[in-house]
Amino acid sequence: MNTQRSFVLAFDTANEVIAIGLGKLDAATQSIECVASVEVEARRASNTQLLPRIDELCAQAGVGRGEIACVAVGRGPGSFTGVRIALACAKGIASALEVGLVGVSSLDAVAWGAWKASERGSLLVVADAMRREVYPVEYRLSDAGAERVTADRVIKADAFAEELGATSASDRLIAGDALRKYVELFEGAGILLPEALWTPTGAGLLMALRASWRAGECDPFDAERHDPAFALPVYTRLSDAEENERQRLARADGALAGKRGSKHVTMNDTAIANARANGEGIAYKPLDACHVADVAALEAAVMGTDAWNETLVADELGRADRVWWAAYAADPKMPLSAEAPLVGYAGGWVVDGDLQILKVGVDPAWRRHGIARVLLARVADDARNLGARTSSLEVRAANAGAQALYAALGYEVLGRRPRYYSDGEDALIMQGPLPTITLAAVPNGESVADESRRGASCAALGREDGAANAQPGHASYPGATEVAPYGESDVIATNHPLILAIESSCDETAAAVIDGGGVLRSDVVATQVDFHARFGGVVPEIASRKHIEAICGVCDEALDVAAASLGRSSLRWRDLDAVAVTYAPGLVGALVVGVAFAKGAAWGADIPFIVVNHLEGHLYANKIGLEDFAPPAVVSLVSGGNTLLVHMADWGDYRVLGATIDDAVGEAFDKVAKALGLGYPGGPVVSKFAAEGDPDAIPFPRAMLHSGDLRFSLSGLKTAVVTYINNERAAGRELNVPDICASFTAAVVDVQVAKARAALRETGAPTFCLGGGVAANPTLRAAYEQMCAEEGVRLVMPPLASCGDNAGMIAEVALDRYRAGAFSPLSTDALAHGDLEVPY
């Protein structure tokens, strides 16, 4: 225990109020003295106010960063964005300070605030859950403290009011920010407490932490036990996309159907709802009604007389408190088809905060592929989002193999159910933590098994594809030098500044470290593609949830890889000179996580904070692997969200020559792939088929080719391709997918190249370069090579791994901004839009 660290910093932004508390820890008595606290109305400005308020409170209380032994954070339930702001910031602070992060319930903090105000008796805390829903939790307040009576859940406000009407109690105390919206529903159900007690307080957070400490659930001094990476928000429902998917898959007419061939492919639109197989040929997706009979058949084969029949399995699907996943043997290069054989399944029931595992079955021919682990982790991941905190199950007393698996996942034997199974065998009752899925952070450009730079999902204690996490020694970076072994402050001056940059604008969580010589010492990325593929595109809510889960591991990996490159045993946050992050443009919910984490880390390490425009990062990506590249140049920036032609007069001096007036190029590729049933992301698979097709087979339109300006339009082309596909299907003709893909690609490339040629002639720029994920398209790159040769200009293209979203490009921009002293305040927020022409 570090006796110099004796304070806890606690804060919460789960609703419209920022609550912050500073407490003095006493290990001997397990007590926390509140030395300072503050509550401030945030009004949707938590991300701009939180850290300045923390800094101000610490200064007023005379508590330095080095005195903080623990960070406590409100995990919700509450506003999803608000909860993630607090949690991401807390993860950054705790990581930089190298202390533990303890999550406490935001609703428990409200209850303890009421207790501190001398309220006693039955208390109902009802928090706003948006969508006309509430989070209701009941407590019992006695002189001994606040005792939780019910688990977290979400319910429609009027439905819960009806529940209360059936159990009315005139002496019931009621608090919670939902009263601001629904006071008329609850005012007759009890005594409304003063509005000051409706939201968390700094003191309430500290008391909730103290209660958890005394119950043995946490230890503020044990940093190893409370790794910031494992702190997660409290959710009580799936994302809208997942909820809708579950309802659709529960109907036999909404489940996967279709077929595929080696050259001519025909699939219906629902094929996009399926993930691709991993390197071992196994695909995972939520169980659908069309495969109920397959589950029942496998049940009969592996469960004997305890097997469920089709009716029992079908009855589980679509229930709000049930989660079922299935595993299929599939071709890793193609979307999952209806013919893919089922090789495993698992299901669970969420009740009172516990995930009760109902079934786990794996085809004997497919055992020892880690399928059961991954299925359990997938079920647990959904269950966690439904409010589960623990997991329990029954297993045959003689099934040593299954018991060993569960023990490896953290389950422990609690007891025995005599003669539980139909043949009279006893069952062991086991309980443990929820198995987890994390995103693997790998060096950018390296493959994980055959995932091609995609950080495949990891299940607890085992990767889906059987590969271990990438280690620092797996990647070498140019410019690494031999330096002295790591010491407390021995980062030599020639390597300074050392800057860690973070990218989280969409569905990639990435981090990189760059040194003062412009050498990328690390560049790692974790992708969420598997979590979005089954929806045919990125789901913003899922993206932000996964960023929260991945960001600590990604940054830790970036620091480890950088340390190895620098020849030292470790690299710590306090050894850095700045923290940088993408702040715009992008998905706001995703950006918020990166910005809040980076600001927290910058505050904790007491180093400058730098923001970077994501689009500028794509321009700088051309410096990666080509140090002599410099403006002036014309840049084609083509990605899923952007299609621009930019004139770079100098670094930081940009003029947009033309942009799309509707769809972006990457978006068009995804939509065409969706129409063909080729899955997501569309760019790589469309390119694959295009290489086998005739680009002149179908005369798709070249929109705005002769417009006389440098603008683009992809919507008409996309519509033309979809119309062609629909007409061919209506006529009963089999689609020639390679020809469609090749003809569509040619139509895109012709316009892109023609506009680029015009831009070069207009500006007289001696260099042409690319940026964005679509810049990896082989047909487009080849066409640009030919055009630049004809025009006599230099062609610069970023490495394939640097075309998509990555942190290396953000680090390149950050280094220049550091040298220019372009630091940002900790009140900076994330922005959905960012004008490349406007200095920031």
pLDDT in tens, 59-73: 999 999 999 999 999
- Output the pLDDT for position 215: 95
Paired tokens of 504: 């989280």
Strand 390-396 to 794-796 pairing? unpaired
Q: What is the pLDDT of residues 692-751, one digit of tens each?
A: 999 999 999 999 999 999 999 999 999 999 999 999 999 999 999 999 999 999 999 999
SS3 sequence, 181-239? HHHHHHCCCCEECCHHHCCCCHHHHHHHHHHHHHCCCCCCCCCCCCCHHHCCCCCCCCC
Beta strands, E only, 567-701: 578-584, 609-613, 633-638, 643-650, 653-659
* Residue ranges of the chain that CATH labels 3.40.630.30: 240-389
Q: What is the pLDDT of residues 92-140, one digit of tens each?
A: 999 999 999 999 999 999 999 999 999 999 999 999 999 999 999 999 9
DSSP 586: S
Greater confidence (441 vs 9) lies with: 9
CB-count burial class (<10 Å; 0-12, 13-18, 19+) for 821: exposed
**266: pLDDT confidence band, cut at 50, 70 and 90?**
very low
Give the separation between CA 84 and CA 101, rounded to whole angstroms: 14
CATH code for the part of the protein at 240-389: 3.40.630.30
- The answer to whether 711 touches 659, Cβ cutoff 8 Å, is yes
Give the bridge partners for 433, in sequence order: 390
Q: What is the pLDDT of residues 624-633, one digit of tens each?
A: 978 789 999 9
Pick the CATH number of 626-798 from 3.20.20.210, 3.30.43.10, 2.60.320.10, 3.30.420.40: 3.30.420.40
The residue type at 771: G
- The answer to whether 360 touches 346, Cβ cutoff 8 Å, is yes
Residue 486: HSE in the Cβ half-sphere, 13 Å Cα cutoff: 13
Q: Please report which residue ranges of 41-168 form alpha helices under DSSP H.
A: 46-61, 80-97, 106-116, 157-166
Greater confidence (597 vs 170) lies with: 597
Mean pLDDT of the region 359-372? 93
Buried b vs exposed e over 158-186: b needs ≥16 C-beta within 10 Å? eebbeebeeeeeeebbbbbbbbeebeebb
Is residue 327's pLDDT more than 70? Answer: yes
Give the bridge partners for 346, in sequence order: 325, 360
**253: pLDDT confidence band, cut at 50, 70 and 90?**
low
Among the residue ranges 161-175, 264-278, 513-527, the one predicted with the least confidence is: 264-278
Q: What is the pLDDT of residues 285-299, one digit of tens each?
A: 999 999 999 999 999
Number of other residues whose CB lies within 10 A of the CB of residue 817: 21
- The answer to whether 12 touches 205, Cβ cutoff 8 Å, is yes
Q: What is the pLDDT of residues 390-414, one digit of tens each?
A: 999 999 999 999 999 999 999 999 9
Strand 282-286 to 266-267 pairing? unpaired
- Output the pLDDT for position 89: 98
| Architecture of the 470-516+524-620 domain | 2-Layer Sandwich (3.30)
Is residue 3's pLDDT more than 60? Answer: no
Q: Which fold has domain 7-109+202-230?
A: Nucleotidyltransferase; domain 5 (3.30.420)
Among the residue ranges 72-81, 152-161, 164-173, the one predicted with the least confidence is: 164-173
Give the separation between CA 186 and CA 162, rounded to whole angstroms: 10
Task: Assign 552 to helix, strand or coil.
Answer: helix
226 is in an annotated binding site: no
Mean pLDDT of the region 597-612? 98
**86: pLDDT confidence band, cut at 50, 70 and 90?**
very high
- Output the pLDDT for position 435: 85
- Output the pLDDT for position 450: 32
670 is in an annotated binding site: yes
**443: pLDDT confidence band, cut at 50, 70 and 90?**
confident
Paired tokens of 614: 């994501």
- The answer to whether 561 touches 472, Cβ cutoff 8 Å, is yes
**Averaged pLDDT of the chain:** 88
Give the separation between CA 287 and CA 324, rounded to whole angstroms: 6
- Give the DSSP H or E segment for 803: none
- Output the pLDDT for position 491: 47
DSSP 273: G
Give the separation between CA 701 and CA 683, rounded to whole angstroms: 19
Instruction: Calculate the CA dihedral of residues 633, 636, 642, 643 and round it to 10 degrees.
Output: 120
Is residue 485's pLDDT more than 60? Answer: no
- Output the pLDDT for position 592: 97
Is residue 557's pLDDT more than 60? Answer: yes
| CA-closest candidate to residue 302, choices 353, 346, 250, 363 | 363
808 is in an annotated binding site: no
Instruction: For the chain, state the CA radius of gyration.
Output: 28
381 is in an annotated binding site: no
pTM to 2 decimal places: 0.89
| CA-closest candidate to residue 102, choices 2, 25, 29, 196 | 25
| CA-closest candidate to residue 617, choices 584, 579, 660, 576 | 584
Give the separation between CA 308 and CA 417, rounded to whole angstroms: 20
618 is in an annotated binding site: yes
Is residue 486's pLDDT more than 60? Answer: no
* Residue ranges of the chain that CATH labels 3.30.420.40: 7-109+202-230, 470-516+524-620, 626-798
